[in-house]
Amino acid sequence: MFITFEGLDFSGKTTQAQLLVEKLRALQESAGDRNHVVHFIREPGGTKISERIRAILLDKEHLEITDTAELLLFSASRSQLVSQVIIPALRKGETVVCDRYCDSTTAYQGYGRGLNLEAVRSVNRLATAGTDPDITFVVDISVVEIEHRKAKAGIAFDRMESAGKQFYERVRNGYLEIANNEPGRLVVIDGATAIQNVEHEVWQSVERKLALS
């Protein structure tokens, strides 16, 4: 099974992805299936080449990166990850949980940056070799909540996180439109509720998916 988590920065999606991985591994352990591997990967990253691209994309010293170059760099990182990690794992019947995938590119570079959506989707298809998630969770929070969480965390923003409020509003609306267009794959969850509530909703959806597989 291939599961992805999406959402704005500071939405809590990474925490939920990690919690799901722990639960899936515990499930395999209790079933006595020690050979089944559950991979947890992040985007951009996950391979040596992808991690180097990640460093370029997030570095504030690279503010001159154009929107199109940004799209292609994210996609290059993803292409390497899909080829080197995701496809081989899925072919072996293993589980892959990924923190961000091509919906991020559609939301951030398509809706957020304003690049042509059909062009973005074409690049996504090329980069993923048509490898689509079985289920995608969009952990949705408001931009106001993002600002609150960033201020509370008191950490420096990377290049992507410094894009501004209007940019994040477009990205959030993009995610919701993607979910509306693909209700069979994407599950939108209110990320403003308690972590345990979000975790429960995620697990319920995964259990339903497992029962159908």
pLDDT value, residue 40: 97
* Residue 33 DSSP code: -
CATH number for the domain including 192?
3.40.50.300
At CB < 8 A and 24+ separation, what contacts does 47-56 make? 47/80, 47/81, 47/84, 47/85, 49/77, 49/80, 50/77, 50/78, 50/80, 50/81, 53/77
Q: Report the range of poorest mean pLDDT among 122-126, 143-147, 161-165, 186-190.
A: 161-165
Give the domain range for residue 51.
2-212
Question: How many structural domains is the chain composed of?
Answer: 1
With 0.85 as the threshold, say if the pTM is over it.
yes
Mean pLDDT over each residue of the chain, to the nearest integer: 92
- The tens digit of pLDDT for each residue in 94-111 reads 999 999 999 999 999 999
